Amino acid sequence: MHHFTSRDGVLHCEDVSLETIAAEVGTPVYVYSTATLTRHWGVFTGALKDAGLDATVCFATKANGNVAVLRTLADLGAGADVVSGGELFVARHAGVPADRIVFSGVGKTRDELAYALDEGIFQINVESKSELEMLDAVAREKGVKAPIAIRINPDVEAGTHEKITTGKFDNKFGIAWTQAHALYRKAAGMDGIAVKAIAMHIGSQIADLSPFDAAFGRMRDLLAILRRDGIEIERLDIGGGLGVPYDREGDPTPMPPADYARVIARNLGDLGCRLVLEPGRLITANAGVLLSRVVHRKEGATRSFLICDAGMNDLARPAMYDAFHAIEPVRAPAPGVENEHVDVVGPICESSDVFGKQRALPPMQAGDLLVFRTAGAYGATMSNMYNGRPLVPEVLVKDGEYAVVRRRPTWQEMIALESPAPWQG
Ligand X SMILES: *Cc1c(COP(=O)(O)O)cnc(C)c1O
CB of 347 to ligand X, least distance (A): 28
167 binds ligand X (CB under 6 A): no
> Which one of 13, 58, 273, 349 is the catalytic residue?
349
At 260 the three-state DSSP class reads helix
241 known ligand binder: yes
Helix (H, G, I), strand (E, B) or coil at 372: strand
Q: Is 340 annotated as a binding residue?
A: no
Site for ligand X in 282-301 (CB under 6 A): 282
Site size with ligand X, rule: CB under 6 A: 18
Q: What SS3 state is found at 313?
A: coil
CA distances 377 to 64, 122, 253, Å, are 6, 24, 18
Does 278 bind ligand X (CB under 6 A)? Our answer is yes
Burial status of residue 199 (CB atoms within 10 A of its CB: 0-12, 13-18, 19 or more):
buried
Considering only residues 226 through 255, tell me which ones interact with ligand X, judged by CB under 6 A.
239-242
Tell me whether residue 350 is annotated as binding. Answer: yes
Identify whether 349 is a catalytic site residue. Answer: yes
Smallest distance, ligand X to C-beta of residue 203, A: 7
Judged by CB under 6 A, the chain residues 190 through 209 that form the site for ligand X are 201, 204
Q: Is 389 annotated as a binding residue?
A: no
165 lies in the binding site for ligand X (CB under 6 A): no
Among 280, 288, 311, 329, the residue binding ligand X under the rule CB under 6 A is 280
Please calculate the CA angle 140-142-148 and round it to the nearest 5 degrees: 60
Question: Does 63 contact ligand X by CB under 6 A?
Answer: yes
Within 8 A by CB and 6+ apart from 423, the residues are none
φ/ψ bin of 375: left (φ > 0), alpha (ψ from -120 to 50), beta (otherwise):
alpha
Residue whose CB is less far from ligand X, 192 or 257: 257
**β pairing state of 327-329 and 274-277:** unpaired
DSSP-assigned beta bridge partners for residue 219: none
Q: Closest separation between CB of residue 83 and ligand X, Å? A: 6
Residues that bind ligand X (CB under 6 A): 60, 62-63, 81, 83, 104, 201, 204, 239-242, 278-282, 377
Q: Which positions are catalytic? A: 349
